[in-house]
Structure 1
Amino acid sequence: MRSFPKHQFLAALLGLLISFNDLRAEPARTALIIGNSHYLHAPLKNPQNDANDLANTLTTLGFNVMLHIDADQRQMEQAIDQFEDQLKKRSGIGLFYYAGHGIQSQGTNYLLPINNAIERERDLRYDAVDVGRIISAMEFASNDLNIIILDACRNNPLTRSFRSSTRGLARLNNTPKGLLIAYSTSPGEVALDGDGRNSPYAKSLIHAIQTKNQHVLLTFQAIANAVQSETKGAQVPWISSSLTRNFFFSQTHEQQPIITTTIAKTANDSTLLKSPKQPTKPSTIAKPKPSLAAIETIEKPYELPQDQYHWKIQQDILTDSSLGPKLVLIPAGEFIMGSDETSKHEKPEHSVNIHRPFWVSIHEISFQQYDLFSLQTQQRLPKAQWGRGPQPVINVSWQDAHAYTLWLSEQTGRNYRLPSESEWEYFARATTTSRYYWGNELAQCSALPLSRIDQSRGFQKNEIHPCAQTLKQKQRILANCRHCFSWVKTGKTFPVNSYQPNAFGLFNALGNVAEYTQDCWRPNYYGAPSDHSAYERNNCSQRVVRGGHWNSAHNEIQVTSRQPVKISTKSDQVGFRVVRENERSNHKTDF
């Protein structure tokens, strides 16, 4: 028998133990898959193939799969009950997939068993399987996360004889927390069975879930893109999500962030590269210098998390040889925009691809920068009740901010503009997935609960002062807002270089002043573009502001928070920062 050196044996044993612990820590994965093909009326070719092929793929991805082909009603209901039992026992991740005939009646979705003898619409409740049964099973199991995939919209001749039913399935509303429902086509539309071995949807699904380190929402976006391309737009997949945690079908042991972009830079190389495997120590990371107009300095340098990036910074030269706003390069990448857990205006969550790098001003535009524009264009200087210089410019309308970007473009010969909503949320998040770019909570003082802050400030009680002082000494005041302890008696803006920058090097992305974007206001994200483009329309009287301001509550400065504002409104709570397209320019670069 071959012998190994002792150190090699110990290393191998340690690696085995680490791998074993990783496997034990991985949440259990349980799947129920049903594929019904051989109907007496209107048989289908591919559901059995789709179910078998998906079952094999999910097995390789660590799922414990329960597979049923050509199931009758009793078999389907028993399988769902067994699925619920397994979810209760194993917890973790639950997945249900159905391929076959489906029908909706009066807003309720039904899956049709192989032996259905349905002649009247009222028979559905007795002879078909209500999708609500699967949802209830998942609710009762109380496991971590669930996914329902319904490739059940293939054309069904029963709909022709039913009075209230329509083609396809109905969209389910008020789904429980932690559930994603994926439809192979839009609600009320019909999916294709396909001419090959698999339906277009199943083929794309099987391929997409094998992509390494791809967030589940990005996975279903990839599926939608592939199906629309294959069917030339005839079939448009749809999802409804209330997920509250991340999930990856296929993942390496090293956790990957939702935002897939990486950027690294040395003093001699500013090319976009993948992040090095060995993290850079925070002390070696290049930090942006304060703006030329800065009066106050940061009390303590901000140490970036070790898995973040160096910053590439530049300033364009204006016609009078002065410098424009200091810019940082934001790398391309993908992220999940919006929130299904907060305001209705932030729904639905959707994936966005920022497909090219762009520059954004490190600071909110200051009075010093804006006053130069006002003087050169003979505009009235905006009111500044808390001082000018390094304070963020306020009391300017969206129209004024837009005019400033046109002036900057004329001064530099480059394309300056306001950021789109998607760009704004992308650079404000700075690779994070939490409520704020520093985490899910504001720093709080144990002696003064959040619920008492407003009352304490309103009556100017002394208890708020020691809390604010303690947090200030500990460098834990992270933004300027009503509940951030940044101000105690009277609210106001603070200089643009105050507090800690986020991981992209941006100061005051949350709080201080709300920031204009290019987008026209709309009440939600349904139909929103999946790229960086802004939403525009004719006669747009309201634009979107993001990030909250000095008088915003804790839940109004989250990275997803958004509000409408009239384009002519001037407020002491609203300012802006600018974006510049990534192109060669006459500029000064700092590293």
Structure 2
Amino acid sequence: MAGNAYEFQHESDTGGTYITLTDPSNNILQHGPSPQLLLATSSGSIRLHYSNDEICTPTPGDCRIGRATTRFTAIFSDRFEAGFKDCDDCPIMVMIPAGRFTQGSPVTEPSSVDWERPQREVSVPAFAMGQTAVTFAEWDACVADGACTRTPADNGWGRGERPVMNVARVDMQQFIDWLSQKTGKPYRLPSESEWEYAARAGSTGRFNTGDCITTDQANFDGTTPAPGCPAGVLRDQTVPVRSFPANAFGLHEVHGNLWEATEDCWNESYEDAPIDGSAWLTGNCELHVLRGGAWYTVGSDARSAYRDRAPRSSASNFIGFRIARSMSP
């Protein structure tokens, strides 16, 4: 979805009419009496379905059907940098389109390891994913609301827009349950295959930036870069979210900063792993799969295909999480 696109920001006066936004394959993007969406898309590639079965294809201007009026404002954009929020305290979510990709790495990829194989084709349904990792500001809102019981340490690095850390899997679930109860939407952790598909965003190299990544593009130990890549700096701490450019799907910091927890149990290879985008919930379920690398990891560990694991009970200054949401009415 990279390339020239229009961002359609719409405001609806529905008169009680329910509106459903879909993509050309009828995957549901948003549904409700007044769905709010900022979607970077080609003109005509999303459609509004009104509850009286009439359909409107957005262009700059108004769609008026019955009692409902939806006004679209188009802004020319060169990236798929979309976002929507289900509530004021909710993280910004990005629509990830349905698609297929090759998960894992070939034996010829420098620094690859056996547990990234065998490579296989995976089909991923459309879903939404956090534009960034969950931040301290978002976590602290959950604490203030009485839903999250722990106030994790920031190690003196700062809170606010830095990604939350020092949280275990049970703590992450409190945050997820808070969002789900607050919005009525099915929030969750992404599956491992969803994570890699979204991180790659159509790329096939070692990183979504190509076969190299630098510390101008991600936060990792640049003193030990991936083979063949230029050296950089070691910041020795996290950086605020959105410090680096987003990938082609509009996601920031999928490489480095903090390891991101996924829903999957740990397995030593992809033999018999699901190929439908769902989480693999058998294997060593005392461990969960981590993706993306962190502020201290060498460049090779931030590769799109690299996978690691940690006890679900572990709360550390190198593990965070990014949320996902199933897209259903």
Interval containing the TM-score (normalised by the shorter chain): 0.7 to 0.9
TM-superposed CA distance for 1:312, in Å, is 3.7
1:454 aligns to what?
A: none
Instruction: Give yes or no for the alignment of 1:512 onto 2:257.
Output: yes
TM-superposed CA distance for 1:422, in Å, is 0.5
TM-superposed CA distance for 1:377, in Å, is 2.7
Per-residue Cα deviation, 1:398-454 (whole angstroms, up to 9, x for no partner): 2211221111111111100000000000000001001100110134xxxxxxxxxxx
2:127 aligns to what?
A: 358
Q: Kindly indicate which of the two structures has a greater share of residues assigned to strand.
A: 2
3-state SS of paired residue (1:564): strand
Per-residue Cα deviation, 1:375-405 (whole angstroms, up to 9, x for no partner): 3136130011111111100100122112211
Task: Point out 4+ residue stretches in structure 1 off by more than 3 angstroms.
Answer: 260-266, 268-271, 273-277, 484-488
Aligned-partner Cα distance in 2 for 1:582–1:265:
22
Per-residue Cα deviation, 1:34-90 (whole angstroms, up to 9, x for no partner): xxxxxxxxxxxxxxxxxxxxxxxxxxxxxxxxxxxxxxxxxxxxxxxxxxxxxxxxx
2:293 aligns to what?
A: 548
3-state SS of paired residue (1:435): coil
Per-residue Cα deviation, 1:188-241 (whole angstroms, up to 9, x for no partner): xxxxxxxxxxxxxxxxxxxxxxxxxxxxxxxxxxxxxxxxxxxxxxxxxxxxxx
2:201 aligns to what?
A: 430
With 399-408 and 334-343 compared, the bigger mean Cα shift is at 399-408
What 5-or-longer segments of structure 1 have no aligned partner? 1-259, 278-283, 287-302, 305-309, 444-475, 585-591
3-state SS of paired residue (1:388): coil
Q: 2:162, 2:239 within 8 Å by CA — same for their partners in 1?
A: yes
TM-superposed CA distance for 1:374, in Å, is 2.4
Instruction: Give yes or no for the alignment of 1:439 onto 2:205.
Output: no
Aligned-partner Cα distance in 1 for 2:184–2:198:
24
Q: Which has the higher contact order (CA 8 A, sep 6+)?
A: 2
TM-align CA RMSD: 2.7
Amino acid at match of 2:93: L
Q: 2:267, 2:283 within 8 Å by CA — same for their partners in 1?
A: no
Amino acid at match of 1:368: A
Instruction: State which structure, 1 or 2, has the greater radius of gyration over its C-alpha atoms.
Output: 1
Amino acid at match of 1:313: G
Aligned-partner Cα distance in 1 for 2:211–2:277:
25
Instruction: Give yes or no for the alignment of 1:406 onto 2:177.
Output: yes
Alpha carbons of structure 1 residues 351 and 363: separation in structure 2 relative to 1, 3 Å: same
1:393 aligns to what?
A: 164
Alpha carbons of structure 1 residues 487 and 527: separation in structure 2 relative to 1, 3 Å: same
Aligned-partner Cα distance in 1 for 2:127–2:284:
28
> Any residues of structure 2 matched to 1:290-329 within 5 Å, and which?
304=79, 310-317=80-87, 322-329=88-95
3-state SS of paired residue (1:515): strand
Q: 2:135, 2:163 within 8 Å by CA — same for their partners in 1?
A: yes
Q: Kindly indicate which of the two structures has a greater share of residues assigned to helix.
A: 1
TM-score by length of 1: 0.41
Q: 1:502 aligns with which of 215, 225, 247?
A: 247
Q: 1:564 aligns with which of 293, 309, 322?
A: 309
1:267 aligns to what?
A: 8
Percent of pairs identical after alignment? Answer: 34
Alpha carbons of structure 1 residues 334 and 263: separation in structure 2 relative to 1, 3 Å: farther
Q: How many residues align?
A: 260
Q: 1:418, 1:579 within 8 Å by CA — same for their partners in 2?
A: yes
Q: 1:261, 1:332 within 8 Å by CA — same for their partners in 2?
A: no
Alpha carbons of structure 1 residues 486 and 574: separation in structure 2 relative to 1, 3 Å: farther
Aligned-partner Cα distance in 2 for 1:571–1:511:
15
Q: 1:332 aligns with which of 95, 98, 101?
A: 98
Per-residue Cα deviation, 1:79-125 (whole angstroms, up to 9, x for no partner): xxxxxxxxxxxxxxxxxxxxxxxxxxxxxxxxxxxxxxxxxxxxxxx
TM-superposed CA distance for 1:541, in Å, is 0.6
Aligned-partner Cα distance in 2 for 1:352–1:423:
9
> Any residues of structure 2 matched to 1:78-93 within 5 Å, and which?
none
1:581 aligns to what?
A: 326
2:238 aligns to what?
A: 493
